[in-house]
Structure formats: C-alpha cells, structure tokens
C-alpha cells in the first residue's frame, strides 16, 4: 500500500500557497484517495496523484483562462485514464470549484483559507499516526498455535451419505359428483 504524499509547508508567495491548496484539495478528495489507497492506478498510484497536483498547478499558471468546468473535465479524464475510475458523483466539480476559489484567494494575497486547510490536514495526520501506533502488526508465527484450518479438520464429524429424497405418495382425490350428475373439477395445488 502506498503512503500518502505529505505536502510541505508553504513559502510566503501565492504560487506556493496555490500549490499547497491544490495538493490539500486533491489529497482530501475521497475518490482520488480511495483510488490511491487501493492502488487502482498501479503501484505508482501515489506518484500519479503527485503528478496530478503538479499538472493542475501548471495548467492554472500557464492558462489563466482556465475555469472550474475545464478543471473538472481534466480531473474526470485523469481519474478515468490513470486510475480506471469513472467519476459520476459530481465530486470532481466540487474539487474543481474549491481549487478555483483557492486560486482567487492567492491572486488577492489572501492565504488564510489555505493556511487553515493546512492546519486541519496536519491535525488529521497526527491523529492518524497516533491511532496507527496503537496497532502493532505481528509477523512471528508460533508453531504451537492452531490455525482455523487445523481446528476445523479436527472438529469435523464423519457422516454417512444422506438418504435419497423420496416423494410421499399422493392420494388420488376421488371425483366429487353433485346432485345433477356433474363431476366437480378441482384446481391442482
């Protein structure tokens, strides 16, 4: 399982904050996170996410006319091409809009929103690492320890073949004749 790429704290310029914001938004996108954690993009899934962060940043820098719809199309296309994931839950539009809002913040020199996102990301990362430390993976195998397969085999009871199923003989219903001499027809059950 690949590890999540950790964004670095930003320098005090708009481009660095925008790069950080893009990285945070994409790392927070559940569809992309699941694709990376599940290695749907192969063993280099984490690298593909990092590449996507850089590609989005480059696109916004080189093509300032880019809007949220263009960015959404790129995100959907990359998810489909690189991770074999079809995004149809409108989450790409939400992420694209979030990134475009961050671009507007950085263009105005307002870095507070991105700084707040960075602080939230750091707190989440610390909580994840603290909870992960509580679990310890044990690789040593005790030879005296029974496995489920061994236990199941010992507990099995040897049984003979099941008897063949035989249908119970049906009683043939006698025809019912009414007063006029007609035979009453009954439905089969």
Q: For residue 181, how many C-alpha atoms fall within 13 Å in the half-sphere facing its CB?
A: 0
Give the residue carrying structure tokens 């559940």: 30
CA distance 122 to 85: 28
CA distance 154 to 147: 11
Give the pLDDT of residue 126. Answer: 85
> Average pLDDT, stretch 1-26?
74
Give the pLDDT of residue 3. Answer: 46
Q: Phi and psi for 103 in degrees, rounded to 5? A: -60, -40
Structure-block tokens of residue 154: 């010992």
Whether this prediction's pTM lies above 0.75 is answered by: no
Give the pLDDT of residue 25. Answer: 96
> Average pLDDT, stretch 131-160?
62
């Amino acid at each position: 399982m690949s590890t999540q790429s950790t964004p670095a704290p930003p320098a005090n310029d708009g481009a660095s904050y925008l790069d950080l914001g893009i990285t945070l938004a994409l790392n927070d996108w559940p569809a992309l996170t699941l694709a990376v954690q599940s290695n749907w993009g192969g063993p280099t899934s984490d690298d593909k996410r990092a590449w996507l962060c850089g590609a989005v940043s480059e696109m916004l820098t080189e093509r300032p006319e880019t809007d949220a719809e263009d960015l959404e199309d790129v995100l959907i296309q990359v998810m489909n091409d690189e991770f074999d994931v079809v995004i149809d839950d409108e989450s790409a539009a939400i992420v694209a809009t979030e990134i475009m809002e961050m671009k507007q913040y950085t263009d105005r020199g307002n870095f507070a929103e991105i700084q707040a996102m960075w602080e939230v990301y750091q707190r989440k990362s610390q909580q994840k690492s603290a909870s992960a430390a509580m679990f310890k993976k044990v690789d040593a195998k005790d030879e005296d320890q029974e496995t489920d397969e061994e236990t199941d085999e010992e507990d099995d009871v040897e049984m003979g073949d099941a008897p063949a199923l035989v249908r119970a003989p049906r009683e043939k219903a006698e025809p019912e004749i009414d007063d006029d001499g007609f035979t009453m027809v009954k439905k089969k059950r």
